[in-house]
Amino acid sequence: MKYDSIVIGAGAAGMTAALNILRNGKSVLIIEKEQIGGQIASCPKVENFPSIKETSGVAFSTNLFNQVMALGAEFTLEEVLEVKKESDESFIVTTDYATYIGRTVIIATGASHNKINKPGEELKGVSYCALCDGPFYKGEDVAVIGDANTALQYAILLSGYAKTVHFCMLFDRFFGDKILVDRLLNIPNVKIYKNISLEEMKGDKNLSSLHFINTKTNEPFDLDVKACFIAIGESPKTEVFKDLVDRDRNYILTNENMETKTKGLYCIGDVRSKQVRQLTTACSDAAIAAFNISKNLS
């Protein structure tokens, strides 16, 4: 079967694109290698999406997935290994299980959590998802490494069941939304540390402590914690598409129609080179790509 569009990635961008293409009577296959919703599924609270005062990332992702599937999307959990343009009218998408043919392809693979690359990062207790692993550390001392929105949300979530949340920042200022910063500053069991650089995570098999260096005084500093949640940004993985796209720091370049340099190949969401990466901008990218795909296929 040849699909009108193959969407690689089932995050907010990919599913929103599928939603709009399906509404125009086209066939869509969504390929996802990990989890429905992508990064937003790990977000404890979503509070900046129009018309929704507050929801969880899991609830948002589940509702969107159900909406898309109800419209007739096909879905598979597989990893895309190769994308080739066969002709002006078709692409061949090869996964670890099968091969699919699509008239168009949308890259919506998002970005992956950055690792901090310090000794001990492999220890049990080191995590990149507070929503997933936070509940295992109820009543314990935990740490959050970061200074932007994800780190702020992680610390706020963890404060609900951890004994103490140690919020550790490399610089002396926050880089997140003021509403989240204000909320964090008013939580009694959150302790904030500025200008400290993580040097090592210590422990046998399980994390037991973190070793820091103060970047202002060069003095060593240690924290005894059972868990450390790292939230220092994300990076895209786009090697699979490198022969079909132009990239800037591994982010894929598109025009305003979300088209890459290869005709019929589109890119949307966090994997795309752009200034703002939020849920609303992912959906905006998706709507634009879907409109142009539907128009061109018709």
For the stretch 183-236, pLDDT in tens is: 999 999 999 999 999 999 999 999 999 999 999 999 999 999 999 999 998 899
pLDDT score recorded for residue 113: 86
Q: Is residue 278 very low, low, confident or very high in pLDDT (cuts 50, 70, 90)?
A: confident
User: pLDDT band at 277, cuts 50/70/90?
Assistant: confident
pLDDT at 9 over 80: yes
pLDDT of the residue at 213 = 97
Give percent of the chain above pLDDT 70.
Answer: 100
**pLDDT over 80 (residue 44):** no
Residue 157 vs residues 27, 170, 172, 258: alpha-carbon distances, Å: 39, 21, 22, 35
Q: How many residues does the chain have?
A: 298
pLDDT tens by residue, 222-252: 999 999 999 998 899 999 999 999 999 899 9
d(CA 239, CA 222): 38
Quote the pLDDT of residue 88: 84
Which residue, among 13, 52, 55, has the nearest Cα to 30 in the 3D structure? 13
User: Rounded to the nearest 10 degrees, what angle do helices 12-22 and 279-297 cross at?
Assistant: 30
Q: Per-residue pLDDT averaged across 42-71, rounded?
A: 91
* Cβ-contact 128, 233 below 8 angstroms: no
Tokens of 2: 């040849």
Span 79-102, average pLDDT = 96
Strand order of the β-sheet with 220-224 is 196-203, 207-214, 220-224
